[in-house]
Amino acid sequence: MAVHEPEARQSYLVFACGSSWYAVPAETAAEVVTFPELTRVPGAPAHLLGVFAHRGEVIPVVDMGLLVGGASQSSRRAVLVRLPRGTLALTASTVAGVSPVTGTLDPLGPTGVHVHLRGPAKSGPRDVAVIDPEGLFDHLSQGA
């Protein structure tokens, strides 16, 4: 399995969902929002909490805790991850800010969403899972 050093010049937005910490490339993290009451999407799995309208765009909210097979988080805050194909809102109970990440960027698992979470990596003293935003977007857009 290939081992890569994260690019030192790259900064990440580091945030927590419950007790787990995540990092997304800072250039994809558009803003941190408090989202309003959500509209449920018909057929949505549990981790897709719903959608809300933000500046003329309908944005899906993904509960990172449920997505990785853990517990739901009741946070109304989310990190907006903006990609050329659309935007995702990832729930965040705490936002630590932008910082470098050290470590490796290997998939944390062989299947499912864990393919798109990379590590082991650290942001300061914290263990973080580095999110591959494009991979996560593809994974969710395939009905996962």
Residues that bind other proteins (CB under 8 A): 39-45, 48, 51-53, 56-60, 62, 85-88, 137, 140-143
Least gap, CB of 104 to other proteins (angstroms):
28
Rank residues 51 and 105 by Cβ distance to other proteins and give the closer one: 51
CB 126 within 8 A of CB 21: yes
Alpha-carbon separation of residue 143 from 108, 128, 139 (angstroms): 21, 26, 7
Structure token pair of residue 19: 């007790």
Residue with smaller CB distance to other proteins, 66 or 88: 88
CB of 63 to other proteins, least distance (A): 13
Q: Counting every residue, how long is the chain?
A: 144
Query: Based on CB atoms, which residue is closest to other proteins, 13 or 51?
Result: 51
At which residue do the structure tokens 């799995």 appear?
Answer: 45
Rounded to the nearest whole angstrom, what is the least distance from the CB of residue 81 to other proteins in the complex? 12
3-state secondary structure (DSSP) of residue 36: coil
